Structure 1
Amino acid sequence: MTAQHIGPSESLIPRPQRTPAALRVAIAQVAPHRLGELEQQKDEAIALAAQTGSLGPILQFLESWAVTVEIARFPSLATRLHSAEYTVQTLDKGDPSWRKAMDVVHGLYASARESLDHE
């Protein structure tokens, strides 16, 4: 699968800053059903950071949710991701369509990370 560059032309919202508050606002706009998941992971990242004395868990949380928002703010990409994730969850790993769906999932996440790296 060729990674599709994510461009600004079809975005529902502007790209948010990588802060917990900005990502929360963005998720509330593009994927409100995921707010609970975001809050739970934020709390876990803060607790782990406090326990380990490292900012790594917080930085990982911010990166993960920035990528999630980057995909969700483009309806066509979010639809492709949901379709591929459904295929992955419903087909046997031996099915060639399962591998193609995994390639789509990985490609979308890689493209989103690349877009964020070039902001």
Structure 2
Amino acid sequence: MTMPQPDPEEPRIAMPELTLPALRQAVATVVPSRLPEFFEDMQTAFVRAGEEGTVLPIRMFYRQWGVVVEIERHPATARRLHLAERAMDDPDEEIRARAVREIGDIVRNAHRAVADG
């Protein structure tokens, strides 16, 4: 008996709250290879917040990683993004231009989704 394959259009996980524990768990689930980057960005954000006396760097960190999770939790969207990122190295200028547009569309849509919460 084979297990049914997940629908690539369905999110792998629900969109988490923009909190450190929720985002950490979401990153660990949908893109665990980026956990070191997540922790490095977290460290940088908290240090900047302390140095600047504002929580803005922390809010920006939450938003940035919320966007990453929003993209990566949708397998088809993540696949499109990663294909476009690889196309950025293509020698053909038109392929690179299409890749830039595709990446921009995906990231803008993810930002809107995170902002709409």
TM-score (norm 1): 0.87
Gaps of 5+ in 2: 1-8
Partner of 1:103: 101
Measure how far apart 1:21 and its partner are: 1.1
Aligned AA (1:14): A
Q: Kindly report structure 1 stretches of 4+ aligned residues shifted beyond 4 Å.
A: none
Measure how far apart 1:63 and its partner are: 0.4
User: Whose RCO is larger (CA < 8 A, sep 6+)?
Assistant: 1
Gaps of 5+ in 1: 1-8
Query: SS in structure 2 opposite 1:10?
Result: coil
Partner of 2:38: 38
Partner of 1:22: 22
- What RMSD in Å do the two structures reach over aligned CA positions? 1.2
Aligned AA (1:99): A
Partner of 1:5: none
Distance 2:33 2:12 in 1: 16
Aligned AA (2:90): L
Deviates more, 1:94-103 or 1:49-58: 94-103
Distance 2:37 2:21 in 1: 14
Name the % identity. 32
Distance 1:101 1:12 in 2: 25
Query: SS in structure 1 opposite 2:54?
Result: coil
Q: Which has the larger radius of gyration?
A: 2
Query: SS in structure 2 opposite 1:17?
Result: coil
Partner of 2:59: 59
Distance 2:60 2:27 in 1: 17
Distance 2:69 2:104 in 1: 16
Measure how far apart 1:114 and its partner are: 1.1
Aligned AA (2:48): L
Number of residue pairs the alignment of both structures matches:
109
Preserved CA contact (<8 Å) 2:63 2:114: no
